[in-house]
Amino acid sequence: MTSLTFYGGVSEVGGNKIMVEDRGTKILLDFGIAFNSGDDYWINWLQPRGISPVKDRFEFGMLPKIKGLYRKDLLKGTDLKYVKPEIDAVFCTHAHFDHVGYLGFIDENIPVYLGECTKLIMETVEEQSTMTDYGEHLYRTFRTGKKIKIGSMEVEPVHVDHSIPAAYGYIVHTSEGSVVYTGDLRMHGVRADMTEEFIRKAKDASPVAMVSEGTRIGSERKTNHTEKEVKTKSCEVASKTRKLVIATFYPRDIDRLRTFYQVAKDSGRKFVVSLKAAHLLSRLKEDKRLPVPDVTADPNILVYLRPKKTYRKWEQEFLDDAVDCDYVHKNQSKLLLNLGLMQFAELIDIRPDKGSHFIHSMSEPFSDEDIEDEVMHNWLDHFGLNFHQLHASGHCSGREIIKNIQTINPKKVFPVHTGNPEMFKKLVKDVKVECPSIGRGYNI
């Protein structure tokens, strides 16, 4: 009667695609791109063709062949026949591409439910990138605690803390009992209270099944801090030097952006952000519930202008007051500059003094042979920058994941978004662990 089918996020981090079926009603939880999806076939400029994105992904099993899900025009030339939508709704947990990246392929008549701010972030990404198109869906936005009726099911989104605003977990009430889906979450961010609320509500639902993320199960990084520690330790770096401080972090991690904004303030510096960050901040101001600094009015924030031949419409509102490489060079002791690896060429113009500082506030490389990491260190060495690794993960630690499962106490747990699902069997006590196989349905 009621089943769960896993089309992605199976034995891998990201790419979540989970179908819940109850008395003929079907909903999809997330529809993301797997991080290593198709890596054996596609490399560098060899990528799925824009004209046949679904067909090229079907070929290598990167997308599931689900009837009544995809856009008619994209099924042309494939062996999956177009039929009218058979999926009643798609629910997204948050705006990371491994959860929403393939939305653009879905039939636009299928409603897509997501947090209000998730929608805002996705719109901003679409504006900034010529490569991203999530499609013209019937979008339905919600806030935490709302209950959404879809056929025989009722879906309850509850906010959680993650490395992007507006992240949600779901409690799906079906005719066979409740199914809890964590999405991505953590306990050591600035809003741990939201994750705790989700866990409380999930427990109260006495779920028959739980779909739990397991990003950090069996793959703990060498160093991991809380968001608060990232702030304190970065502040130590920035306060002790009169040289330039540069920080890099994930572009849509607003908590981290706020952390470095505060680090800059507390160390008597101004925070210099990219045009993209400035645009995102100004869009997020539309969400009154999200406290973000006012990039156009706040004297503590400056916008860095990379020289370009032309500027796109969304960039233009910041051009007049922006600062350039010479300004940064002349005011090194007074600035904290946010600069991503892909913008490192700016260092050639900025010419930071030797002994300046670089804070890497992102995950450590997953292997010793990470080319990007090697290139980054070549640049740091070339410019004589001191390296600091200061990051707080977007995910619960392995121990917290296990503890949460035991607290929620479902009849059965399905590990997803993890490279080590089998490890759950050893670690979780008193709850049955079912490691899902790709495309297989599980009755609950």
Between residues 31 and 383, which has the closer beta carbon with respect to Zn ion? 31
- Closest distance to Zn ion from the beta carbon of 306 (Å): 28
Long-range CB pairs of 6-9 (<8 Å, 24+ gap) are 6/414, 6/416, 6/436, 6/437, 6/438, 6/439, 6/440, 6/442, 7/64, 7/66, 7/438, 7/439, 8/32, 8/34, 8/64, 8/438, 9/34, 9/416, 9/417
Stretch of residues binding Zn ion (CB under 5 A), selected from 44-52, 182-190, 286-294, 431-439: 182-190
The single residue among 30, 156, 184, 255 that binds Zn ion, judged by CB under 5 A, is: 184
Between residues 180 and 263, which has the closer beta carbon with respect to Zn ion? 180
- Closest distance to Zn ion from the beta carbon of 309 (Å): 35
According to the binding rule CB under 5 A, does residue 96 interact with Zn ion?
Answer: yes
Sign of CA dihedral 363, 364, 368, 373: positive
**Position 42, amino acid:** W
- Closest distance to Zn ion from the beta carbon of 67 (Å): 28
Stretch of residues binding Zn ion (CB under 5 A), selected from 80-88, 93-101, 138-146, 234-242: 93-101
- Closest distance to Zn ion from the beta carbon of 94 (Å): 6
Provide CB contacts within 8 A for 313, sequence distance 6+: none
Alpha-carbon span 51 to 74, nearest angstrom: 8
**Position 10, amino acid:** V
Nearest alpha-carbon partner for 357 in 245, 199, 263: 245
Whether residue 32 contacts residue 100, with contact meaning beta carbons closer than 8 Å, is answered with yes
According to the binding rule CB under 5 A, does residue 30 interact with Zn ion?
Answer: no
Binding mask 284-323 for Zn ion (x = CB under 5 A): ----------------------------------------
Stretch of residues binding Zn ion (CB under 5 A), selected from 42-50, 184-192, 313-321, 342-350: 184-192
Between residues 96 and 269, which has the closer beta carbon with respect to Zn ion? 96
According to the binding rule CB under 5 A, does residue 159 interact with Zn ion?
Answer: no
Whether residue 272 contacts residue 335, with contact meaning beta carbons closer than 8 Å, is answered with yes
Binding mask 389-428 for Zn ion (x = CB under 5 A): ----------------------------------------
- Closest distance to Zn ion from the beta carbon of 217 (Å): 15
Between residues 168 and 344, which has the closer beta carbon with respect to Zn ion? 168
Sign of CA dihedral 241, 245, 249, 253: positive
| Interface with Zn ion (CB under 5 A) | 96, 184
